[in-house]
Structure 1
Amino acid sequence: MTSKQNTTVRIVITESERDPHGEALYEHWRVSAGGPIDDSGPRSAKEDTKQPLGTSVDTMRSRTVPDTTGSTIIDSRVDGTSLKNTEIRRDTLRPVEKISQGQAEVTFTDPDQISNTDDDSSYNNERVTSPSAVSDSGSDIDDVRGNAEAVMYLKACALYRVTPSYHFRQCVSDLDVSMQHRTLGDVGIKAIATALVSNLSVRCLNLSCTGMTLAGLRYILDMLWVNTSIRDLNLSHNEIGPDGAVDLRDSLIHNRNLIALDITALGLRDDASGYLAEILTENTVLKAFHIGKNSLGEKAGEMFKTALGENTTLRFLDVSWNHFRQRSAIDFCCGLEANTGLDTLNLSWNGLGLEGCHELGKALKVNQALTDLDLSSNRINFDAFKLVMRGLRKNKHIETLKVGCNPLTTDAAVSILRAVGDGHCEALRNLDLTDVTVDTDFLTLLGNVKQRRTLNVKHGITLRHDELRKGHMAVILDTDDPLTILFECVKTKNLRLIDLLKNLDKDNSETLSREELHRGLEEIDIPLSQRSMDILMNKLDINRDGQVDFSELQTRYKEHLRRIARLQRDADVDLRNYKNFDRIESLREMVRLRLSFSK
């Protein structure tokens, strides 16, 4: 038999903390011995000894007392436990609301007066009966008495009158606890938060899709002020609302434990972007940050521009399914230009468009950290993609590029393969072109590239474009810039100017006539209209003798190179100048494609 005796002690509440709903979360206690209990009137200690454990008056709560009086302990409001009487420094607790100091006297079972016998050898001196708990024997607590964390959780559920989660009870001591898609509600979240206050086992906590609202978020954040073991927290797909950003900011700018946080689809709006940016600026521990599927837009771009430039510790950032468009897209990509730590960025489903791609291309030229970039579903057409390619050609660190589900054509797919084949994009190993149609020429080019380097490509369906091949009716090209077409042919075929002259000079006169130029271009499937031929001869025939010699070719070629460099420089300075550069780039790309089809 176990001899149970009660001892009357005096509890002095020196400080208390309350949540926004008035519930006491954590309390500091100072314990002193002796003194009568005063509920409705004085009662003697002798009368108190007749009260069994847990049946004191309503204003009293039975608790386990530390053996040493005068200790300061933290109590989580769960009847009959003091978190193993662990001493907690007061400066680790979050001050929420101070209340006036007061005193309360409670009847306890003195652990020193409990003697174990063979009939009751399994009695745990932390075991108590809360007001709504089950019976001492055959209860859930009996089943998990050897697991202190599970006992704590069950007692919390009893106190808050919530049905315990069997799954959480089973895994509360594991490293990874996932409650995803389990409807808990705020009260269920509160019980879990209470149980995790002193938990040193859980490293990864997943509360995605649990029915949490703002109140539940605050319970979790309050728990994080004390818990030092949780490293990865997933709060995604809950109805937190825009007000939750303030609480997240207040907690995370001081948190030095979390390294991964997922707040995807919490209903955050653009006004919350400033608080999220503060987290990136002030927190120096966070490595992975998921903030996708919210409503971040114009203000977010401006805020993240500064935050990304200052943050050097974040490695993974997911901002997919937001509204980074136009001005906000430009600002966000400007931040990437100054960032030195981020290696994985998910920008999919935003809508970068032409403006954002222009700035992204500039950022990729100088960014030395990014290795994985996702631009899927961003309304990037061929013109916008060419702007990104200008940065990728200079970048030596991007290993994975995802540009699928964009309105790209085979031309865009071929252009990136040509860049890889020409020795650009040195680090690129994985290319995702999901839903981008390709043709057999793309597959041939891909095979040639794979012979020289490792490249994994995922693409859409393969189409035939036999109508573009030589032997079918040629499409006459009418352009105001035939000079660019001529010199792009020279560059694509890797010819010298003297080689061009010799190949087209059929009469060995060391000059080219109009007919020789026209016939030579037709043979390589670049037929020019009569108007374009007139413009070409007018440009090349400097001395107006009707013939084009080597010196005239050389002079115009140098002028052409200087013109291309000037247009590219102007486009980098001001996006309004891009149209001129884009026009000539489109023409050059058309020549490269037609020459590839004519082989």
Structure 2
Amino acid sequence: MRLQHIGINCSHCKALACALWNNTCIESIELEDNGLVGEDLVPIINVVRTNSNIKSLSLSENEIQVVGAMALDEILRETTCLTHINLSGTKLGDRESEFIAAGLQNNNSVRWLNLSHNIIGTGGSKKLGRAIGDTTSLQSLNLSWNHIRMEGAVGILKGLQKNNSLINVDLSMNGLGFEGSLALEDTLRENSCLKYLDISNNRINWEGVSYVAKGLKKNSTLQMLKIGSNPINMEGCYELLKAVASRKSQILHIALDNIPVNGAVLTVANDIMKARQFSITHGGILDTRDVVGIRKVKPEDPITIVVRYLGTVGIRIIDLFRMFDSDNDGQVSRREFIRGLKRVGVPLSDRDLITVASRLDKHKKGFISYGLLSNGVRSHIREERKEDKRQEVKERNRLEERRRILQTELPEIYKRRYEDDLFMFYTSHSSSNLVTPLRSSTNSTHSMYGKQCSLLPALESGKASLVSIHCQNEAQKTTRFENEQTKSTNSTNKMQSPKSIKRHSLQANMKSNDILRYIQSHLQRKKTQASFDLSSLQNIDT
């Protein structure tokens, strides 16, 4: 059933839920891009939980919110028929992803899940990684266009490393980066079921691609790898192709879109094609060594080159200056200084030699004295040592941060609590307006919060069934009482005073409060029983 882009609202969702309650023909529901929010979607989600004929559910381009995520958690825990779920573009964040992960961890039916174009960050990624590692039915997962990076990327890849069912995974348009490349090496080495992997546009550079190549060399199941639009140089492409050329590799296609290659890379690709079925896509052929992802090396300071060269040839600073100072007046002009450096064979260009002379002539007098030369060289060496120490500390901190990220442990997924059961009960009975309403003497309909709701049957089952039955009985009693009161006061209805109307409204509100108290007592008993069961298990273990 396709109801896409037609702008249905909350009332339509309730009517649709009633129509689907006993339907045995419809197997797919698509509600893409209708501007629905979490409370609007709860009735549809509850129907999917109870209707065993519905196999596919698409809620893309709506807004799930926490309420809808909690409802999805429940159906994922209970359903045994739902196989396809599309939650693309539903503004899922870390909090919502936590509920999706909790349901997915306890599900054995969903085979296809689309969570692309959302805002899943580090926290949600780690929870999803834990669920991915535990699930045994999921075969296709799309997490493209999210905020998966750093610890989140490592969490997802660690989950894939443990998974034994996923065949197709799309992680494109995220930020795996160098840390993700390191984790991906272990994933490719350990995983034995993955066949299609898309990691394009993930900031995998020349430094990280070598680790991906190492993992590919040990992998024997992957058939298609998309790694295009990453800053990979020619050397990185060559390493990837050499890994694919190994006998253990089963790669049939590798996509290097928007990455140029050279003749050496194509030679390896042609050798693979001669040995077995293989194809490659790339961003063009360029006869150069480095084009994309070139290593940017900081140019070395010219004075450092001069000092190192003088040390190599065994010339002291004072001896160098005596060679330049032909008239022994203790100073030389810039031109003489540059000419002298060329004479001793310093490997610098004319531009760099002019730079050295200008930096030693601090006062801009046009000449360089021995004191200026020796002090300039000495201060430069001192600053260079300080800079080396700063770079060493920076590199050490960077390595420690990478080590910390790679040691990320997958956290325990969210567990349902008493307060969440109470919240979900209120949501499914009041926000979704699926409970038979309580009527006041003025024939206005009320929900538990005193808001209006439509006369629809309850769609929930399972844990809240006892409470639901009680609510329906209370509502029927209230309706019967109101009918009797209406018959007895029909003739004097016009003469009724405002105080009497207020009194009848208070009676209806009192009955509503009784139901709320019953809900709280029921869930409190449930909480007490759970605590007792836990203590009993602990006593048995001891």
Return closer, same or farther for 1:467/1:372 CA change in 2, 3 Å cut-off.
closer
More helix by share: 2
Partner SS for 1:184: coil
Which residue of the partner structure matches residue 250 of structure 2? 427
The CA distance in 2 between the partners of 1:289 and 1:429, in whole Å, is: 25
Equivalent runs, 1:361-380 vs 2, <5 Å: 361-380=185-204
**Do the aligned residues in 2 keep the contact of 1:254 with 1:283 (CA within 8 Å)?**
yes
How many residues align? The count is: 300
Residue 199 in 1 paired to residue 23 in 2?
yes
Give the Å deviation of 1:295.
1.6
The residue identity in structure 1 corresponding to 2:54 is: I
The CA distance in 2 between the partners of 1:193 and 1:275, in whole Å, is: 23
Give the Å deviation of 1:198.
1.9
**Do the aligned residues in 2 keep the contact of 1:358 with 1:575 (CA within 8 Å)?**
no
Equivalent runs, 1:263-302 vs 2, <5 Å: 263-302=87-126
The residue identity in structure 2 corresponding to 1:417 is: L
Residue 454 in 1 paired to residue 277 in 2?
yes
Return closer, same or farther for 1:241/1:573 CA change in 2, 3 Å cut-off.
closer
Give the Å deviation of 1:420.
2.2
Give the Å deviation of 1:201.
1.5
Give the Å deviation of 1:368.
0.7
The CA distance in 2 between the partners of 1:422 and 1:250, in whole Å, is: 46
**Do the aligned residues in 1 keep the contact of 2:102 with 2:131 (CA within 8 Å)?**
yes
**Do the aligned residues in 1 keep the contact of 2:73 with 2:104 (CA within 8 Å)?**
no
Give the Å deviation of 1:577.
12
Return closer, same or farther for 1:339/1:415 CA change in 2, 3 Å cut-off.
same
Give the Å deviation of 1:448.
2.3
The CA distance in 2 between the partners of 1:309 and 1:451, in whole Å, is: 38
Return closer, same or farther for 1:307/1:226 CA change in 2, 3 Å cut-off.
closer
The CA distance in 1 between the partners of 2:170 and 2:57, in whole Å, is: 19
**Do the aligned residues in 2 keep the contact of 1:301 with 1:332 (CA within 8 Å)?**
yes
The CA distance in 2 between the partners of 1:364 and 1:264, in whole Å, is: 27
The CA distance in 2 between the partners of 1:466 and 1:366, in whole Å, is: 33
Deviations 1:95-114 (A, max 9, x none): xxxxxxxxxxxxxxxxxxxx
Partner SS for 2:166: coil
Deviations 1:241-278 (A, max 9, x none): 34321121122211111011011111121122221111
Residue 232 in 1 paired to residue 60 in 2?
no
Deviations 1:536-574 (A, max 9, x none): xxxxxxxxxxxxxxxxxxxxxxxxxxxxxxxxxxxx999
The CA distance in 1 between the partners of 2:173 and 2:199, in whole Å, is: 8
Partner SS for 2:50: coil
Give the Å deviation of 1:466.
8.9
**Do the aligned residues in 1 keep the contact of 2:188 with 2:218 (CA within 8 Å)?**
yes
Return closer, same or farther for 1:467/1:265 CA change in 2, 3 Å cut-off.
closer
Which residue of the partner structure matches residue 36 of structure 1? none
Equivalent runs, 1:463-502 vs 2, <5 Å: 463-465=286-288
Return closer, same or farther for 1:394/1:211 CA change in 2, 3 Å cut-off.
same
Which residue of the partner structure matches residue 152 of structure 2? 328
TM-score after normalising by structure 2: 0.52
The CA distance in 2 between the partners of 1:226 and 1:298, in whole Å, is: 33
Give the Å deviation of 1:576.
5.0
Partner SS for 2:186: helix
Return closer, same or farther for 1:275/1:346 CA change in 2, 3 Å cut-off.
same
Give the Å deviation of 1:423.
2.6
The residue identity in structure 2 corresponding to 1:283 is: N
Which residue of the partner structure matches residue 435 of structure 2? none
Residue 345 in 1 paired to residue 182 in 2?
no
Q: 1:390 aligns with which of 195, 210, 214?
A: 214
Equivalent runs, 1:13-92 vs 2, <5 Å: none
Return closer, same or farther for 1:301/1:222 CA change in 2, 3 Å cut-off.
closer
TM-score after normalising by structure 1: 0.47
The residue identity in structure 2 corresponding to 1:239 is: E
Give the Å deviation of 1:437.
1.1
Q: 2:259 aligns with which of 436, 441, 445?
A: 436
The CA distance in 1 between the partners of 2:168 and 2:45, in whole Å, is: 27
Partner SS for 1:357: helix
Which residue of the partner structure matches residue 73 of structure 1? none
Residue 311 in 1 paired to residue 135 in 2?
yes
The CA distance in 2 between the partners of 1:412 and 1:404, in whole Å, is: 12
Equivalent runs, 1:527-538 vs 2, <5 Å: none
Which residue of the partner structure matches residue 252 of structure 1? 76
Structure with the bigger RCO (C-alpha within 8 Å, sep 6+) is: 2
Gaps of 5+ in 1: 1-176, 469-477, 479-529, 531-571, 579-599
The CA distance in 1 between the partners of 2:49 and 2:242, in whole Å, is: 54
Return closer, same or farther for 1:416/1:222 CA change in 2, 3 Å cut-off.
same
Partner SS for 2:280: strand
The residue identity in structure 2 corresponding to 1:278 is: A
Give the Å deviation of 1:226.
3.1
Partner SS for 1:216: helix
Equivalent runs, 1:538-577 vs 2, <5 Å: none
CA RMSD of aligned residues (A): 2.7
**Do the aligned residues in 1 keep the contact of 2:216 with 2:244 (CA within 8 Å)?**
no
Give the Å deviation of 1:422.
3.6
Which residue of the partner structure matches residue 88 of structure 1? none
Gaps of 5+ in 2: 292-299, 301-346, 348-398, 406-542
Return closer, same or farther for 1:257/1:338 CA change in 2, 3 Å cut-off.
same
The CA distance in 2 between the partners of 1:577 and 1:312, in whole Å, is: 29
Stretches of 4+ moved more than 4 A in 1? 572-578
Give the Å deviation of 1:461.
2.2
Q: 2:239 aligns with which of 390, 398, 415?
A: 415
Partner SS for 1:463: coil
**Do the aligned residues in 2 keep the contact of 1:240 with 1:266 (CA within 8 Å)?**
yes
Give the Å deviation of 1:429.
0.7
The residue identity in structure 2 corresponding to 1:403 is: I
The CA distance in 2 between the partners of 1:388 and 1:466, in whole Å, is: 20
Which residue of the partner structure matches residue 182 of structure 2? 358
Give the Å deviation of 1:462.
2.1
The residue identity in structure 1 corresponding to 2:188 is: L
The CA distance in 1 between the partners of 2:175 and 2:15, in whole Å, is: 41
Return closer, same or farther for 1:418/1:189 CA change in 2, 3 Å cut-off.
same
The residue identity in structure 2 corresponding to 1:346 is: D
The residue identity in structure 1 corresponding to 2:274 is: Q
The CA distance in 1 between the partners of 2:11 and 2:280, in whole Å, is: 49
Partner SS for 1:261: strand
Partner SS for 1:405: coil
The residue identity in structure 1 corresponding to 2:267 is: T
The CA distance in 1 between the partners of 2:92 and 2:290, in whole Å, is: 51
Deviations 1:79-108 (A, max 9, x none): xxxxxxxxxxxxxxxxxxxxxxxxxxxxxx
